[in-house]
Amino acid sequence: MSVTAGAALRRATERLRAAGIEAPAREARLLLGLAMGLPDGAVPDPGAAIDVGRFEFLLARRAAREPLALIRGTQGFWTLDLKVSAATLIPRPDSETLIRAALAALPDRTAVRRVLDLGTGTGALLLAALAEYPHAWGIGVDVVPEAVVLAAENARRVALAGRAMFVVGCWAASLAGQFDLILTNPPYIESCGIGGLAPEVAAHEPRSALDGGTGGLQAYRDVIPDLPRLLTPDGVAVLELGFGQVEAVGALAAQQGLRRVALHPDYGGIARALVLGHRRS
Ligand SMILES: C[S@@+](CC[C@H](N)C(=O)[O-])C[C@H]1O[C@@H](n2cnc3c(N)ncnc32)[C@H](O)[C@@H]1O
């Protein structure tokens, strides 16, 4: 069946509105552009004839609250366009705070040589850091094998595969050596709070990327004790925090002899990136 883009858009907007999507007209336009194979952000011509079957397929997925990024298959992060999948978290703009924090703590772009990303997911943090530190190489670790495959694919996609390697592992357990920069955005949602998140997150992103256990702090308890042995003397670790976790995570770091170097707010003003280093003697 062939209908015009304008008519299809009006119906699609109503359908997405009924499904509880916040910006239904904008998303209907994006999905139609996708169905028509238009370049990102191009506005469909209202008079153009469209392939209704393909548009319907994409629309049904979004009406079921599947995230737009998963439907599109890609997500922008920092300067990079990354592939995403249901194996791990879709990179969030607020996680870019970790890259800003790293650049503020380690401003000499040529001095950073070794970068570690614990819970790498799509590889977003490691690849963004490698893009900023041209002499660095890095390792990304994730417990989900499909995430590791995805991260490696992203490294090739953004032409950084020569400086990035990805391994399946449980946090830093199997790692030796020292790193100038350690990045981690661990799962930090309290287990009981996951059901209350938006359907896009609760039903479509994996628990392995979200669930921080009781109180949301389990991953920090697992990761922080390894940081002192993994950091070079002047190195820093940048940890993403959930809302209201500054004090608790700061206390875990202090117990391991680490000092707070800085704390950076995200785009919404929430304390998001905690920078830690060795205590000065
Ligand atoms: C919140 S996501 C962050 C993904 C990515 N770093 C980002 O910022 O978009 C957390 C990641 O940690 C991984 N993860 C969970 N438990 C882990 C563990 N025990 N060891 C290593 N990675 C783990 C998950 O698979 C997921 O990819």
**d(CA 34, ligand 1 centre) in Å:** 29
Q: Which residues of 45-56 are buried (b: 16+ CB within 10 A; e: fewer)?
A: eeeeebeeeebe
Task: Write a three-state SS string for 151-208.
Answer: HHHHHHHCCCHHHEEEEECCCCCCCCCCEEEEEECCCCECHHHHHHCCHHHHCCCCHH
User: Which residue's C-alpha comes closest to atom 24 of ligand 1?
Assistant: 209
Task: Write a three-state SS string for 213-227.
Answer: CHHHCHHHHHHHHHH
Angle at Cα 220 formed by Cα 232 and Cα 149, nearest 5°?
80
**d(CA 177, ligand 1 centre) in Å:** 21
Q: Of all atoms in ligand 1, which is nearest to the CA of residue 91?
A: 9
User: Quick one: CA dihedral 127, 128, 131, 135, positive or negative?
Assistant: negative
pLDDT tens digit sequence for 109-121: 999 999 999 999 9
Q: Is the pLDDT of residue 2 over 80?
A: no
Confidence of residue 160 (pLDDT cuts 50, 70, 90): very high
User: Quick one: CA dihedral 75, 81, 83, 89, positive or negative?
Assistant: negative
User: Which residue's C-alpha comes closest to atom 8 of ligand 1?
Assistant: 185
Ligand 1 neighbours by CB, cut-off 6 Å: 88-89, 91, 95, 119-122, 124-125, 141-144, 147, 170-171, 185-187, 208-209
Angle at Cα 20 formed by Cα 14 and Cα 22, nearest 5°?
85
pLDDT tens digit sequence for 120-151: 999 999 999 999 999 999 999 999 999 999 99
pLDDT tens digit sequence for 48-78: 888 899 999 999 999 999 999 999 999 999 9
| Its pTM surpasses 0.85 | yes
pLDDT tens digit sequence for 234-257: 999 999 999 999 999 999 999 999
**d(CA 118, ligand 1 centre) in Å:** 7
- Catalogue the E-assigned strands of the chain: 2-4, 49-51, 74-77, 80-83, 114-118, 137-142, 164-168, 179-184, 231-240, 258-265, 271-278
